[in-house]
Amino acid sequence: MESLKVIKYNNSWQGKWDEFVKSSINGTVFHCQKFLSYHPEGRFQDASLILLKDGQVKGLFPAAAKVISEKKYLFSHPGSSQGGLVIQKDAGITQGFECLKAIINFTRDNSFDGIIIRQGERIFHKSLAEELDFALSYLGFQYYARELSSAVDLSGINKDD
């Protein structure tokens, strides 16, 4: 079995990318290339990554290269309201770690000074698994900022009332 391979996204992957997002545990419309492509070309230096193992997509990381205070970061896509690593439904903690370590190695090998990840809102995940939060903390990621969000479940409201 081959180890996880990281490749840069290009437009030939758009269909497979968006299908993976739809079938993932934590992907949202904000992770889809169809959504991200609404930005004018050249607005961001795209650095989105595809994580492959044995020829199969195991994770996606929509991202851009962004310079902050003269340092180059791999940044969860700044053109999206939500970001973070997208993983398949049955990924589990081991694969979460493997994907994040591969992204860390990619940044080191490609002269990035760091990684900034904006995780997606849990309310939009297909299940409440927290593998990535645990792995990020274990691997030394720290909070850069915290945001507050809330949601109201409207499914029980009768439209006729």
Residue-wise pLDDT for 49-100, tens only, equals 999 999 899 999 999 899 999 999 998 876 666 778 888 787 778 888 898 9
* Per-residue model confidence as pLDDT tens digits over 110-145: 999 999 888 766 666 666 667 777 777 777 777 777
Model pTM?
Answer: 0.81
Distance of CA 140 to the CA centre of its chain: 18
In terms of phi and psi (left: phi > 0; alpha: psi -120 to 50; beta: otherwise), the region of 126 is: alpha
Strand order in the sheet with 45-46: 45-46, 63-68, 71-76, 114-116
Spatial CA neighbour of 97 closest among 137, 49, 127, 47 = 137
> How far apart are alpha carbons 49 and 113 in whole angstroms?
17
Which letter does DSSP use for residue 40 in this model? P
Tokens of 23: 């079938």
